[in-house]
Amino acid sequence: MFQPELETMSREALERLQLARLRTQLARVYVNVPLYRRKFDEAGFRPEQLETLADLTRVPFTVKNDLREAYPFDMFAVPQRDIVRVHSSSGTTGQVSVVGYTRGDVERWSDLMARTLVCGGASADDIVQVTYGYGLFTGGLGAHYGSERLGAMTIPVSGGNTARQVQILKDFGVTVLACTPSYALLIAETAASMGIDVRSLPLRLCGSACSAPSRGARRCAGRSKRSWAYVP
């Protein structure tokens, strides 16, 4: 575990913490974000009415279109001077969705990703190769900061140049590969074309933190596991 004091909390203590933080968050967005204030008012809900976690069912949903309508910065609940970084979606299905991060957000995000890596079996003794894009997409920097927070040696390769990815895997003795299932498959195929058997490499963990996969993504993940000789 990375943060045992948090990861081993009793259910009662966890729910008390969740309720306190949820109350604070709802009050903050009600006061500072007009869109949330309007949605709460339309639903007849006030933040102070949240007395238990079960009351969360009274809070209106935030949907994708809300994020699009708030473009670029109308979802920010703090003054713009407190924002130290901005990320966004790709915009492939419409208006991009923008997310702003305060310095505290970045710190918490780093802890979250470090916990994720440890849950997957990584440790400070690992060498982590990050193949997600570094830019407006959140993946690269999230995995990078999490790996550094963990104390692992972190290689910020970013995406593309697959032959170089393979060479780094081999030469640097990478033990953890942060990538999507489809890119893991491409790396394995590229390695084979270079005469390198990926199963001979010291890599022991290969994975991605993502939303529920589609059927195609699950098939691709299965092929990747077979290519890398992983047990499903």
DSSP element (H, E) containing 205: strand 205-207
- Joined tokens for residue 169: 């895997």
Mean of all residue pLDDT scores within the chain: 89
CATH superfamily ID and name for 106-227? ANL, N-terminal domain (3.40.50.12780)
Q: Does residue 179 have a pLDDT over 80?
A: yes
Q: Specify the 3-state DSSP secondary structure of 191.
A: helix
pLDDT higher for 220 or 148? 148
Q: What percent of the chain has pLDDT over 90?
A: 74
Report residue 22's pLDDT band, with 50, 70 and 90 as the boundaries: very high
- Joined tokens for residue 65: 């279109």
Q: Specify the 3-state DSSP secondary structure of 129.
A: strand
Least confident stretch, 100-104, 195-199, 223-227: 223-227
Over residues 53-91, the pLDDT tens digits come to 999 999 999 999 999 999 999 999 999 999 999 999 888
Question: Do 190 and 215 form a contact (C-beta atoms < 8 A)?
Answer: no
Q: Identify any residues that bridge with 130 across adjacent strands, giving them in sequence order.
A: 178
Q: Does residue 144 have a pLDDT over 90?
A: yes
Distance of CA 66 to the CA centre of its chain: 21
Domain borders along the chain are 1-62, 106-227
Least confident stretch, 39-48, 139-148, 176-185: 176-185
Q: Does residue 214 have a pLDDT over 60?
A: no
Using N-to-C axis directions, what is the helix angle for 181-193 and 162-172, rounded to 10°?
80
